[in-house]
């Protein structure tokens, strides 16, 4: 049955604008500037979402002052040089009927002095939660300078053709540092009673309004309840919004979750959090405002989620950030009754905020075109001039994606898979707790293959000779990787084979998740990778009643997940399931009923009893077929883990890149 989205489709008046539907591509730092200016990468990225049908785009923030610089990809602050290139962006997106808003920010105490090379400024010189530094308590003159920075940035946005600006008062940034008694301890006219604490925001809004006139939207990003001692409550936020609303100062509030103070992982909530996380808080704000529109955000992942929020009356607009990173055409597909064709975001955070936190331009695990639209967008929608017969060997993510893109471009594609299931290692990952969204992505890929009439042959293996005899113009090898039999650990590079690895009670993560082994109650899981392969399997086993201990050479479990804003949530999930952790350790040997653990700090060994050992060690590339074809002189291209075992991101990237080149 076709899903319809009557509420999501309906237009909305926003100050002087009429938004064509209720879907916003909300503010996020894409980190794509070139020399501080928006260039081709940035334009391609936003234009794809404007073409994709969303009603409003909030372009990533411009820092309003030298002390507001946060990333290497930030735009130039306090410079009119940005006006002309932004005008190219707004003109291009306006062609698609998209309202264009620019976010303006200053994160106060939580800036990144490693990028700005100046001390962070804040109302009262409180601690930065970005690093271990302190901040500088602003003087009167400095407060006026930052207000002017906001006002001039508003003027520039207006001259660049934006329809409005969004002031960043979320996550305990500078504006809401003034609001909160926790961070505003001033005794002058900027501190104390609520009206004083709001005066910084009011002066900014009034100053911008004077510059831009009446036909210009001034929105505000806030976060809802701050769930830590001394944080502003939802009632406090409602009081602030109501105060601003009674004076008709703000045209819309977007209500997010999280805070730099003690709740950073709530800002871009991963799959470990509840769906529709910010919706209740948005509804509370909606109840107290009369003039302003209210936008809900955070973990609104699908068009159906968005419809539910708008239909409930809890918000006027919904911001879908990661959902539209994953599929730029989400709005058009949903509004055309094709929601099943929307490529789902899996809320993994690996390549969006994961790349932003490493200070690269952002991309996406399920959509490697993100950040490459300027180079790939045309080819993606074009048909190949030379349709060919393509054989793809291996039905994991790389093979499925290569087959999908090649078929979409008009090639005749056969996909063979040696097991009865498509999906490869991602199919197993989807069985880990809370990771069913991965299964949605695989189901989407499979539906697309069917629609594109890819011939899928399961339970099929072809030898190099059989492939050579086949009548294929192109052969793509995506045979993936398999668990290594050696138990090699990177903490012990001189030990090629872990003693005892061959014993019956030793299994791989893949054995566990595929259900092919029965384990005893006490399980030792060796995490040699620091990612979800180990951590998710620990949760999986714990939920099935095993007493799980994770052993890692690092200082914490999942040490490569820090940039995905999930590490604290993971630690909590492990603790809630009584998973024990042994850090800074490696396995010297496995015996029948014990293991010998090497403490990497002291160099001492000890024995501990376990009934089973599960290895999350480096898999090995399944490169046999590619090598045999090469030896036989048959042209074939390898993609993904059969080149080297890596994250799914690289498999999907190499698959799409290759298929676009066919």
Ligand X SMILES: Cc1cc2nc3c(=O)[nH]c(=O)nc-3n(C[C@H](O)[C@H](O)[C@H](O)COP(=O)(O)O)c2cc1C
Q: Rounded to an integer, what is the distance from CA 623 to the centroid of its chain?
A: 31
Q: Which stretch binds ligand SF4 (CB under 6 A): 31-39, 54-62, 320-328, 443-451?
A: 320-328
Strand pairing partners for 259? Answer: 263
Beta strand pairing status for 620-621 and 481-482? antiparallel
Piece in contact with ligand SF4 (CB under 6 A), picked from 56-64, 124-132, 246-254, 319-327: 319-327
Burial of 57 (0-12, 13-18, 19+ CB in 10 A): buried
Six-digit token string for 475: 């052969």
Where would I find the H helices in 461-554?
464-469, 509-513, 532-543
* Residue whose CB is less far from ligand X, 152 or 319: 319
Contact partner at residue 124 from ligand X, ligand SF4, none, CB < 5 to 8 Å by partner kind: none
How many residues of this chain interact with ligand SF4, rule: CB under 6 A?
Answer: 14
Residue 239 token pair? 């009081």
Q: Under a CB-based contact definition with an 8 Å cutoff, are residues 346 and 441 in contact?
A: yes
- Whether residue 334 contacts residue 342, with contact meaning beta carbons closer than 8 Å, is answered with yes
Q: How far is the CB of 595 from ligand SF4 (least distance, A)?
A: 35
Give me the least distance between CB of 320 and ligand X, in Å please. 5
Could you tell me which residues are beta bridge partners of residue 595? 590, 608
C-beta atoms surrounding 420 within 10 Å: 9
Contact between 322 and ligand SF4 per CB under 6 A: yes
Contacted entry of ligand SF4, ligand X, none for residue 285, CB cut-off 5 to 8 Å set by kind: none
Which lies closer to ligand X via its Cβ, residue 7 or residue 409? 7
Which chain residues interact with ligand X by CB under 6 A? 26-29, 60-61, 103, 168, 170, 221, 256, 267-268, 297-300, 319-323, 352-353, 356, 362
Among 365, 551, 590, 612, binds ligand SF4 (CB under 6 A): 365
Q: Minimum distance between the CB of residue 566 and ligand SF4, rounded to whole angstroms? A: 10
Closer to ligand X by CB, 305 or 617: give it. 305
CA neighbours within 13 Å on the CB side: how many for 438? 27
Closer to ligand X by Cβ: residue 323 or 659? 323
Q: Which does 348 bind (CB under 5 to 8 A by kind): ligand X, ligand SF4, none?
A: ligand SF4
Residues 172-231 that bind ligand SF4 (CB under 6 A): none
CA 17 to chain centre: 30
Query: Smallest gap, in angstroms, from Cβ of residue 96 to ligand SF4?
Result: 21
Q: Nearest approach, Cβ of 67 to ligand SF4 (angstroms)?
A: 29
Pairing of strands 605-609, 594-599: antiparallel
Contact range with ligand SF4 by CB under 6 A, out of 39-47, 167-175, 321-329, 520-528: 321-329
Q: Which of 17, 282, 325, 512 binds ligand SF4 (CB under 6 A)?
A: 325
The phi and psi torsions of 528 (rounded to 5 degrees) equal -95, 5
Query: Judged by CB under 6 A, which stretch of 311-319, 363-371, 391-399, 497-505 contacts ligand SF4?
Result: 363-371
Sign of the CA dihedral 238, 242, 243, 245?
positive
Cβ atoms of 171 and 259 within 8 Å: the answer is yes
Site string for ligand SF4, 332-361 (x = CB under 6 A): -------------xxxxxxxx---------
- Given ligand X, ligand SF4, none, residue 299, with its beta carbon under 5 to 8 Å by kind, binds ligand X
565 CA to centre of own chain? 9
First to last CA, the chain: 35
| CA–CA distance, 134 with 120 (Å, rounded to integer) | 8
Q: Rank residues 198 and 320 by Cβ distance to ligand X and give the closer one.
A: 320
* Closer to ligand X by Cβ: residue 102 or 122: 102
A 10 A CB-CB count for 144 gives 12
Residues in touch with ligand SF4 (CB under 6 A): 322, 325-326, 345-352, 364-366
């Amino acid at each position: 049955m076709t899903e319809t989205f009557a509420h999501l489709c309906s237009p909305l008046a926003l100050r002087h604008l009429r938004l064509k539907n209720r879907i916003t591509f909300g503010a996020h730092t894409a980190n794509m500037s070139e020399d501080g200016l928006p260039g081709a990468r940035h334009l391609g990225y936003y234009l794809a979402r404007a073409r994709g049908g969303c009603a409003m785009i909030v372009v990533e923030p411009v820092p309003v002052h030298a002390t507001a610089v946060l990333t290497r990809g930030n735009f130039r602050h306090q410079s009119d040089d940005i006006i002309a290139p932004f005008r190219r962006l707004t003109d291009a997106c306006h062609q698609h009927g998209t309202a264009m808003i620019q976010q303006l920010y200053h994160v106060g105490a939580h800036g990144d002095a490693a990028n700005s090379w100046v001390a962070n400024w804040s109302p009262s010189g409180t601690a930065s939660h970005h690093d271990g530094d302190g901040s500088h308590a602003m003087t009167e003159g400095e407060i006026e300078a930052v207000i002017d920075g906001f006002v001039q940035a508003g003027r520039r946005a207006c001259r660049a053709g934006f329809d409005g600006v969004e002031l960043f008062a979320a996550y305990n940034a500078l504006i809401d540092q003034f609001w909160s008694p926790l961070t505003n301890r001033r005794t002058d006219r900027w501190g104390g009673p609520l009206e004083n604490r709001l005066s910084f925001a009011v002066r900014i809004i009034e100053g911008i309004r004077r510059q831009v006139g009446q036909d210009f939207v001034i929105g505000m990003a806030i976060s809802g309840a701050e769930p830590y001692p001394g944080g502003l409550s939802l009632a406090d936020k409602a009081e602030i919004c109501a105060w601003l609303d009674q004076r008709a100062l703000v045209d819309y509030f977007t209500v997010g979750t999280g805070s730099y103070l003690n709740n950073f992982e709530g800002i871009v909530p991963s799959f470990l959090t509840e769906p529709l996380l910010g919706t209740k808080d948005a509804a509370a704000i909606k109840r107290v405002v009369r003039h302003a529109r209210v936008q809900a955000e955070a973990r609104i992942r699908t068009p159906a989620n968005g419809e539910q929020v708008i239909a409930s009356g809890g918000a006027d607009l919904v911001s879908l950030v990661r959902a539209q990173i994953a599929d730029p055409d989400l709005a058009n597909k949903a509004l055309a009754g094709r929601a099943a064709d929307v490529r789902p975001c899996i809320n993994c955070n690996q390549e969006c905020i994961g790349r932003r936190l490493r200070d690269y331009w952002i991309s996406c695990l399920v959509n490697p075109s993100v950040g490459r639209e300027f180079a790939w967008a045309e080819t993606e929608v074009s048909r190949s001039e030379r349709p060919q017969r393509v054989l793809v060997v291996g039905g994991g993510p790389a093979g499925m994606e290569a087959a999908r893109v090649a078929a979409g471009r008009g090639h005749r594609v056969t996909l063979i898979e040696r097991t009865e299931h498509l999906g490869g290692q991602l199919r197993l990952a989807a069985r880990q707790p809370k990771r069913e969204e991965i299964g949605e992505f695989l189901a989407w890929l499979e539906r697309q293959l069917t629609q594109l009439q890819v011939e899928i042959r399961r339970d099929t293996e072809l030898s190099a000779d059989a492939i050579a005899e086949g009548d294929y113009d192109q052969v793509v090898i995506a045979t993936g990787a398999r668990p290594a039999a050696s138990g090699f650990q990177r903490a012990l590079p001189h030990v090629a084979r872990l003693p005892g690895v061959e014993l019956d009670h030793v299994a791989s993560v893949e054995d566990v998740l595929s259900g092919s082994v029965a384990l005893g109650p006490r399980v030792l899981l060796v995490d040699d990778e620091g990612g979800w392969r180990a951590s998710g399997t620990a949760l999986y086993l714990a939920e099935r009643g095993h007493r799980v201990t994770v052993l890692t050479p690092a200082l914490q479990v999942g040490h490569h997940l820090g940039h995905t804003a999930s590490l604290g949530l993971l630690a909590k999930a492990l603790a809630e399931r009584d998973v024990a952790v042994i850090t800074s350790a490696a396995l010297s040997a496995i015996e029948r009923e014990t293991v010998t653990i090497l403490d990497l700090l002291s160099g001492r060994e000890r024995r501990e009893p376990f009934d089973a050992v599960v290895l999350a060690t480096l898999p090995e590339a399944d490169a046999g077929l590619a090598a045999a074809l090469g030896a036989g002189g048959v042209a074939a291209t390898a993609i993904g883990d059969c080149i080297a075992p890596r994250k799914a991101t690289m498999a999907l990237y190499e698959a799409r890149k290759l298929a676009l080149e066919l």
